[in-house]
């Protein structure tokens, strides 16, 4: 086993591309390269060569750099089996229950459909690192473009089952807008109120809020808390199923203009 060195690369307006370097065999994966230039130059600067691309889903702001990086480095592209036809240059298809070895660092793969039908997440347990693309965000979750509330709630449940110490390497800095919304459906949550103040301070100082810790998300992210009776009551669905509550919270977020 070896610990990944993980580097955040902000690109476009609010995307995070991640470099994960495996030091034992000197492998470097780029997770969801929205673009090619920034991850190529960042890895070069560190004396690393990109050997792998790990894609979570097919959206352009996650695969946009695939072909150029592959042409320049000859890297191997790993992506969701369920969406293999929409991942440019895919070499290796993975899905739920598979493991993928980045050298001595092993990722468990989860199918997490909802945002897209073929979305996957990579969990590197030895590094406490979860690469979840646009499924789980800090205080939020992805929009359901290709899936149902039932699917998305099930997908988030797989991620919620991971340890509190998991670091969430999601693909966007949406935290402050998510925080504004979270307060509307969980206003009495003291952990949330405290956290929003901290997030506002960080953003005012120009600091990233990603990665975050899963343990904190479990206490404050309303999309992981649709089975909480207080949230159900707040959205007028006391006693209804978590899926109903989740669907309502997601719908309200879609309509929310903070």
Contacting residues toward Fe ion, per CB under 5 A: 61, 134
Contact 212, 199 (CB under 8 A): no
Write phi, then psi, for 41 (nearest 5 degrees): -75, -35
Of residues 217-246, which lie at the interface with Zn ion (CB under 5 A)?
A: none
Task: For residue 184, give the 3-state DSSP assignment.
Answer: helix
Answer for which of 32, 134, 173, 186 binds Zn ion (CB under 5 A) is: 134
Beta bridge partners of 129: 124, 167
Q: Least distance in Å: CB of 44 to Zn ion?
A: 27
Contact 44, 7 (CB under 8 A): no
Q: Least distance in Å: CB of 115 to Fe ion?
A: 8
What is the pattern of x (binds Zn ion, CB under 5 A) and - over residues 53-92? ------x---------------------------------
In the bound state with Zn ion, the residue whose beta carbon lies nearer, of 83 and 128, is 83
Number of residues that bind Zn ion (CB under 5 A): 2
CA distances from 179 to 97, 139, 155, 186 (A): 32, 6, 21, 10
In the bound state with Fe ion, the residue whose beta carbon lies nearer, of 21 and 119, is 119
CA distances from 160 to 83, 167, 175, 214 (A): 24, 12, 18, 7
* Chain mean position to CA 67: 22
Query: Catalytic amino acids?
Result: 57, 59, 61-62, 115, 134, 172
Of residues 144-203, which lie at the interface with Zn ion (CB under 5 A)?
A: none
Q: List contacts with Zn ion (CB under 5 A).
A: 59, 134
């Amino acid at each position: 086993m070896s610990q990944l060195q993980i580097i955040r690369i902000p690109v476009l307006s609010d995307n995070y591309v991640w470099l994960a370097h495996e030091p034992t065999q000197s492998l470097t994966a780029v997770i969801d390269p929205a673009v090619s230039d920034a991850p190529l130059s960042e890895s070069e600067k560190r004396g690393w060569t990109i050997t792998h691309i790990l894609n979570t889903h097919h959206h352009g702001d996650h695969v946009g750099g695939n072909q150029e990086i592959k042409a320049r480095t000859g890297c191997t592209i790993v992506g969701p089996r369920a969406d293999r036809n929409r991942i440019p240059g895919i070499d290796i298809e993975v899905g739920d229950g598979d493991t993928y070895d980045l050298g001595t660092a092993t990722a468990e793969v989860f199918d997490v459909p909802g945002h897209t039908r073929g979305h996957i997440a990579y969990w590197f347990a030895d590094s406490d690192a979860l690469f979840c693309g646009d499924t789980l965000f800090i205080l939020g979750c992805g929009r359901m473009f290709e899936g149902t509330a039932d699917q998305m709630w099930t997908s988030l449940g797989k991620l919620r089952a991971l340890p509190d110490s998991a670091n969430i390497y999601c693909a966007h800095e949406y935290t402050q807008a998510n925080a504004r919304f979270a307060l509307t459906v969980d206003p009495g949550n003291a952990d949330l109120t405290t956290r929003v103040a901290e997030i506002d301070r960080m953003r005012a100082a120009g600091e990233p809020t990603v990665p975050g810790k899963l343990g904190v998300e479990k206490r404050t992210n309303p999309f992981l808390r649709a089975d909480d009776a207080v949230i159900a009551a707040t959205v007028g669905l006391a006693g209804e199923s978590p899926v109903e509550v989740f669907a309502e919270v997601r719908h309200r977020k879609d309509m929310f203009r903070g």
